[in-house]
Amino acid sequence: MKPKRLVPGGGYHSPVFMPKTNDILALKGQEIVRLPSTGGAPTTLYAIHAVRKLVGFSQDNADELLIITENPSGRPDVGLLSVSTGSVAPIPYDRTSTEDLDMLEHLLGWKRVYGDKSLYMQHREEQTLSGTVDYVDTFLRADDGEPVNVSNCDGVNCGQPSLSADSTRIVFIRAGEE
């Protein structure tokens, strides 16, 4: 399947699929934006101060979205965003704990595991007439099968992947469109 542009324009990053729908929440600057999977105009839900990343929805509560924000000293903070209200409940972590810092590093990264599937970015190099082109593609691996390049961006960085709850759709950001 060939990737297709979901919405015109750019400026989006950190996309995640909403539960029970194939609509996508993404960041555009400090705004949380809902992108209809069927096309159509994006809807701005609200702004979250210093938001850095949307991580993923809670498996137990479809209204809770794990997010990363940045505190005034520039360090990452973790919180649960209520999609219905826009309020953020901080999730404290121990900045001296190796386990907490390892989990934070994982949350800040882009490798995602969905049961028996993993979605990740892989560095690629390609020789062209003008020299070597370095870029990143997005890959999906199911069970112990071979990884499949799902972005096929051919020399352009494609990352920040997310898999839909039913595992039938993948969203990613193509460089220059973020």
pLDDT in tens, 7-22: 767 789 999 999 988 8
pLDDT of 167: 87
Please provide the DSSP assignment of 13-65 as one string. Answer: EEEEEPTTSS-EEEEETTEEEEE-TT-S--EEEEE-TTEEEEEEE-SS-TTEE
DSSP structural state of residue 9: S
In a domain, 137, yes or no: yes
Cα angle at 126 between 121 and 131, to 5 degrees?
A: 135
Give burial (CB, 10 Å; 0-12/13-18/19+) of 57. buried
Please provide the DSSP assignment of 80-105 as one string. Answer: EEETTT--EEEE---TT-HHHHHHHH
Question: Do residues 123 and 90 share a domain?
Answer: no
Ranges in the chain, pLDDT < 70: 1-2, 8, 176-178
In a domain, 3, yes or no: no
Question: Do residues 58 and 138 share a domain?
Answer: no
Q: Which residues pair with 51 in a beta bridge?
A: 69
Give burial (CB, 10 Å; 0-12/13-18/19+) of 74. exposed
pLDDT of 10: 79
Question: Do residues 91 and 163 share a domain?
Answer: no
Q: How far apart are CA 118 and CA 150, in angstroms?
A: 12
Q: How far apart are CA 133 and CA 147, in angstroms?
A: 21
pTM: 0.89
Question: Do residues 104 and 58 share a domain?
Answer: yes
Provide the residue range defining the domain that includes 50.
8-109
pLDDT of 178: 45
